Amino acid sequence: MLSRNDIKLIKSLEHKKFRQENNLFVAEGPKLVGELLGKFSCPMVFATNQWMEDNKAIPARRIETVTPDELKRASLLKTPQDVIALFEIPRTETSIESAARDNLVLALDDVQDPGNLGTIIRIADWFGIKDIFCSRGTADVYNPKAVQATMGAIARVRLHYTDLAKEISGLPTGIPVYGTFLDGETIYDTELTQNGVIVMGNEGNGISAETEKAVTRRIFIPNWPAGAETSESLNVAIATAITCSEFRRRSF
């Protein structure tokens, strides 16, 4: 059964304030919930009989069978999908320095669209990037739309919200900090390391002036043919994909 308070709690988690107060986020659908169960601590699962039959030994503290009608009342999706689960927002204490010493990490400087954020997390997952550091102005990954857009990739990629410019500025010189700029070196020709930080900027404004100061390697994705008239820029998720692919290509 799903109480009125359960529904109220689920709906409240659309808002960042209540996610932070309760330290919880929502995920829906058999595929996504299946990926997250066991990876995040799960206080509650609400699911139809059908889902219950398909899933045994569920690692959740409270498990409720509900009717499709009850599910519909609680769901944040247009088309509810058999299961709603609440998960605890994990605490993370990794520093950029320790994460970027031996692997590539992404740093998001006010990426604002939850859809872009979700897509970037899938890209990180594909290219073996385990940690993403976000400025406090970046979209909240635990926003239900962002969670759904990751399609489960948040089970394998850790997100850290931090004072990004400050953390990056404090890095020792041995850790390269890459950022894309129009005056950067063509990414295809330049030396790329398999560790360090790749900074991606805001959709409209790019990388902030403060973070830019900490960038030690300015790179650029050139359009083709060089100098032809084209769009002003690439979408941030698209630029992230091309950049990560080019970094990893070097070590195949």
| Residues found near a second copy in the complex (CB under 8 A) | 119, 122-123, 125-128, 151-153, 156, 186, 188-189, 221-226, 228-232, 234-235, 237-238, 241-242, 245-246, 248-249, 251-252
Kindly state the helix (H) or strand (E) to which residue 179 belongs, with its residue range.
strand 177-186
Give the nearest distance from C-beta 203 to a second copy in angstroms.
11
Q: Which is nearer to a second copy, 29 or 152 (CB)?
A: 152
Q: Which is nearer to a second copy, 124 or 164 (CB)?
A: 124
Q: Taking the chain, what is the end-to-end CA distance rounded to the nearest angstrom?
A: 51
Give the nearest distance from C-beta 152 to a second copy in angstroms.
7
**Dihedral, CA of residue 140, residue 20, residue 145 and residue 205, to nearest 10:** -20
Give the nearest distance from C-beta 153 to a second copy in angstroms.
5
Q: Which is nearer to a second copy, 73 or 248 (CB)?
A: 248
Q: Which is nearer to a second copy, 74 or 99 (CB)?
A: 99
Residue with structure tokens 């304030």? Answer: 17
Give the nearest distance from C-beta 39 to a second copy in angstroms.
11
Which token pair is 146? 């962002």
Q: What DSSP string runs through 107-120? A: EESS---HHHHHHH
Q: Show Cβ contacts of residue 48 under 8 Å, excluding neighbours closer than 6 positions.
A: 65, 66, 67, 68, 71, 82, 83
Q: Which is nearer to a second copy, 13 or 187 (CB)?
A: 187
User: CB–CB of 154/118 below 8 Å?
Assistant: no
Interstrand relation of 83-88 and 44-47 (parallel, antiparallel or unpaired): antiparallel
Give the nearest distance from C-beta 247 to a second copy in angstroms.
9
